[in-house]
Chains A and B, each alone.
Chain A
Amino acid sequence: MQSHFLVLLVAIPLIAAPVCVLIKSRALVWALVSVVSGICFLLSVKLLILVSTSETALTYAIGFWDAPVGIQYRLDMVAAIVAFIVSLIAFIVALYSRVSLKDEIKAEKIPLFYSAYLLCLTGLLGITVTGDAFNLFVFMEISSLASYALISMGKNRAALISSFRYLIMGTIGATFLLIGIGLMYAHTGTLNMTDLAQRLPALLGKQSVQVSLAFIVIGLAIKSALFPVHIWLPGAYTHAPISVSAFLAGTATKVSIYALIRFLFTVFDQTYAVSKAHLGPAFIILAVVAMLFGSILALKQDNLKRMLAYSSIAQIGYLFLGIGLFSVSGLSATITHIFNHAIIKTTLFLVLGCMIYKLGHAQLSQLNGIGKRMPWTTAAFVIAGLSLIGVPLTAGFTSKWALVSATLEQEYLILTALIMFTSLLAIVYIWRVVEAAYFKEHETKTTTVKEAPLALLIPLWMLVILNIYFGIDTTINIEFARQAADSLFGS
């Protein structure tokens, strides 16, 4: 049975997705989605345990067609970590979505929404488990198409436009990825990643192989919203329904970065990809610009969803910074931060969800005095905010620690200073919310507002507790991340 867990992780949500459309009852469809994402979560936990105890990566041959011929699923440590965090976020957001969707989406569309949600989850999990380059592209398209649909369900007109813009950008990204994979296939005659890794080194002198690397990197950079091609992200996160923003902010960009790591470190020879093709310095420069740009724009936003979106752009900068350092500790810092940031950002978006549910908006200028009206919600924001800043005993601290260690290891003091500076900027934009929530006199409009219902608060606080838990028990986000980085470099 255990050998089938890998494929079940993808198959269960894939099969459940069309079933959703057939169910009329909203409660029932929600229950189904919760159960399915819960099962995925349990599977991913089990898989993470299996991977951490076994020496080699887990593999599974689809339809018993062995590796080079058939599609192979392959789960190593980094994939297991990403699969774990994706299914965790999916499960908690699914629990949260029942109440929060009520106001945002028309009742008859809810089964469709959940169907798309599961498809998106299928795609994201598929990317992590597959060991086949083309299969990865297919799953990326599944998750992207589903997320275009999810974003377009937002309440106002801009959601549709934002979704369309994301679609255009996403399609460019996917096309680039496909062209890149195609070029590699043309040269090597294989799509299996392990196989590619063996055959590519001999061909790296060929210009078309080099071009394929460029295609793949740009394609995935668009998907993961690296600085100059981040333009789709603020709109998409701002106008999507809050559950979608929370889910995508925690998972979609992270999984794209995972795919990028997969190509750079497993498929291509990593010394070539990161240092010889000068991707390292390029990533570092773009990452620094992203960190500054995102943090500074986050300071100026009144719409808190947009503020978090810009903060995400800054955080994606950190992720690319870690990759660009091209060291074991840099890469492990990236993996750590993928994990932590998924938890942190999802928590913050879920807080906004509670506010939107009660107030109908998340405009900073109209949140004065909300701390007294919604104490649990705002307390959650404060804790997640501290985690974003990187205060000790929160998950965010482990990221900051790992990143700073990695930059100091190579004596890039300027980068260290920049990380610290942007984390001070994070204090300022979190502080703006805290100030409004606790210290400004509340307005008459908000006086009747009560605390959000338990159905929203319980999933939210599950994540808040995880924020602290993973700040104290760092087995997964530090130890496993380090092992993952070691094995990526060793391979």
Chain B
Amino acid sequence: MTNLMIPPGLLLVLAAFLLPLLPSLYRKFLLIAAPIASLILILLIPDDYSLKLPFLEYELLIIKLTPFGKLFAVIFSIMALVGNIYALNQAKLTELVSAMIYAGSGISVVLAGDLITLFIFWEIMAIASTMILWANNTSGSRKAGIRYLLVHLFGGVILMIGIISYYSETGKILFESMVGREATVSYWFILAGFLINAGAPPLSAWIADAYPEASPSGSVFLSAFTTKTAVYVLLIAFAGTKLLIFIGLYMVFYGIIYALLENDMRRILAYSIINQVGFMVTGIGIGTDLALNGVAAHAFAHIIYKALLIMSAGSVLYRTGYRKCTDLGGLFQTMPVTAVCGIIGALSISAFPLTSGFISKSMISSAAAYEHLSVIWYLLLAATAGVFLHAGIKFPWFVFFQKDSGLRPAEAPLNMRLSMYIFSFLCIGLGIYPDPLYSLLPALKTSYVPYDAAHVVTQIQLLLFSGLAFFILLPMMKRTLTISLDFDWFYRRLLPGLVNLLEPLYYIGTATIKRSIKTLYKKLQLEPDSRIKQLGYWSLSVEGMVWISLLIFGIALLTIFTYSTY
């Protein structure tokens, strides 16, 4: 068993390649069975298990189980399972195949024991997730897809440079903590490569740019894996890096502010991913045992409630075809299940007591408090209120209540409801009885009790008052048809704009050059035979080529004579 085990991530990838070959019924079976099998495999991996493979000039450690890695792998396969259930009725085959590859490589990243394995699956994730976007096949998803791909491959390039320099500095490729290597090149490249996938500034915009363009089920998959693998790798390699606290806090407030300004319900949720990942990055920056465990627990809980929220938004989109808050409202009457599940997700993300968000997020803020980082603690507290405003109230209020938009869509289909039930159950179940999650957490040296009186009371007060604030400020919260500018404006608008501006200049310039070259050719009688059009503009006549080669040869001779030092 131990030596012949298939890596769980690879199992999903292989299953993905089987999908297109199967008839539809078996395909559905495989979509359910493969993630379950992978979950079982993950739970069966013995703690000291390692799987080695030679590749390039290195010995790869395909599987090296870290306690955090196991936690992430478990939630990833649960996510793949429930996401597949959600996708059963409407997703295209391309999307399902890509999603399985995506989930499988996500699992492989968190189980990877060395940087090269990590990098390989990192890149496959980028491609598979782009395929999910493209599978939606709208002009929006196509364009967002290529921007998304370029951002991620750029990140991959940075990471690759980091990894190669790491190898040449240390002679090792093991994926370990990088703390204490601040003076090296590799440290900064690897950190930057990881942070790009986490949605850190200045390249945060890709999340809100891409995720809402996928199909309803596609964005469920997308929301789960990329940023969370980034959180995992930061957690392992950069725990306790103070810089991350500031980056994290920036992301927290960035997410809140843009989400409050946003009108598109799925973009609201996308911004709130940045905000939530910000919490995690801050926790990694704090770096104590409690904080790190909090980060892992929060990532676990976050995947569940965020997926639940996006599923709820996706069901609305699927039934109505609308995604802007201004078009929606009053859907509670005809989509009660979707609404209730959405509200459960919203309460969880706001860390309401008795939900999964509460038991995980409080760990991070407690960690800040225990370290006497009071400013950070206050900021995190304020941010919790902000989350409640944008995701906790704003999303359900504008979509399901508010005015009556006149839409009377049917309730979400059975499989979508089923997957929302599962995640709602997990949200509340973990909120009431967090022990299973806590038991997965490694090295929780100090036992942690989330439900002490002071904590619960603070949280409820905070949420109630921010709820009050929302309704008092409701006129200001009402969304109009606006778009908010972000950093991506630079590469989406400014750059093409500059290109458009410069294009006439470019043409005038090249035309001048072409004309003068042509005149030169004429004078030197080097013009190619103009009767043959296919030859292309820049081509020379045969005599021209001879002259050029002789010229170059002359230059080479001169150089050799001048510089030869033998």
Residues of A with Cβ closer than 8 Å to B? 156-158, 161-162, 164-165, 168-169, 172-173, 176, 204-205, 207, 210-211, 213-215, 217-218, 222, 228-229, 231-232, 234-235, 238-239, 272, 276-278, 282, 306, 386, 389, 391-393, 398, 400-401, 404-405, 408-409, 416, 420, 423-424, 427, 431, 435, 438-439, 472, 474, 478-479, 482
Contact = CB atoms under 8 A, between A and B. Distances in A.
20 contacts: A158-B535, A165-B542, A207-B561, A214-B553, A228-B552, A231-B540, A231-B548, A238-B534, A276-B565, A276-B566, A277-B563, A391-B124, A392-B121, A393-B120, A393-B124, A398-B56, A404-B160, A404-B164, A405-B167, A408-B164
A399 to B, nearest CB: 11
A479 B534 CA distance: 43
Nearest to A218: B553
B326 interface: no
Contacts of A228: 548, 552
Interface in B512-566: 529, 532, 534-536, 539-540, 542, 545-546, 548-550, 552-553, 556-557, 559-561, 563-566
A228 B555 CA distance: 12
A478 B57 contact: yes
B188 interface: no
Contact of B548 (A204, A229, A400, A435): A229
Contacts of B137: 439
Given A158-B532, A392-B119, A404-B160, A214 B560 contact: yes
A420 B542 CA distance: 36
B184 interface: no
B556 A217 contact: yes
Nearest to B139: A439
Given A211-B560, A391-B123, A161 B535 contact: yes
B165 interface: yes
A168 B545 contact: yes
A273 B566 CA distance: 10
Contacts of B529: 161
A171 B467 CA distance: 83
B564 A168 contact: no
A207 B558 CA distance: 12
A282 B559 contact: yes
Contacts of B154: 424
Contact of B560 (A173, A213, A478, A479): A213
B512 to A, nearest CB: 18
Contact of B57 (A217, A272, A482): A482
B120 A408 contact: no
A119 to B, nearest CB: 24
A161 B119 CA distance: 47
Contacts of B165: 408
Contacts of A168: 542, 545-546
Nearest to B55: A474
B32 interface: no
A161 B488 CA distance: 48
A285 to B, nearest CB: 11
B557 A392 contact: no
B557 A211 contact: yes
Contact of A231 (B160, B539, B563): B539
Given A165-B545, A439-B142, A218 B120 contact: no
A234 B545 CA distance: 14
B332 to A, nearest CB: 38
Nearest to A404: B164
A421 B153 CA distance: 11
A392 B168 CA distance: 20
B93 interface: no
Given A157-B532, A210-B564, A439-B142, A420 B157 contact: yes
B146 interface: yes
A392 B120 contact: yes
B211 interface: no
Interface in B121-174: 121, 123-124, 127, 134, 137, 142, 146, 149-150, 153-154, 157, 160-161, 164-165, 167-168
B164 A405 contact: yes
Contacts of A416: 161
Contacts of B124: 391-393
Nearest to B165: A408
B56 A401 contact: yes
Interface in B106-122: 119-121
A157 B534 CA distance: 9
Which of A173, A306, A405 lies at the interface centre, i.e. has the most chain B CB atoms within 10 A of its CB?
Answer: A405
Contact of A438 (B134, B553, B560): B134
A405 B482 CA distance: 47
A278 B542 contact: no
A213 B57 CA distance: 34
Nearest to A157: B532
Contacts of A386: 127
A389 B150 CA distance: 12
B545 A479 contact: no
Nearest to B54: A474
A479 to B, nearest CB: 7
A276 B542 CA distance: 34
Contact of A423 (B157, B546, B548, B560): B157
Interface string B31-63: 000000000000000000000000111000000
Q: Nearest 5 CB-CB pairs, A to B?
A: A392-B120, A158-B534, A420-B157, A392-B123, A218-B553
A394 to B, nearest CB: 10
A424 B153 contact: yes
Nearest to A477: B56
Contacts of A218: 549, 552-553, 556
A231 B56 contact: no
Contact of A277 (B119, B121, B168, B560): B560
A229 B549 contact: yes
A12 B137 CA distance: 53
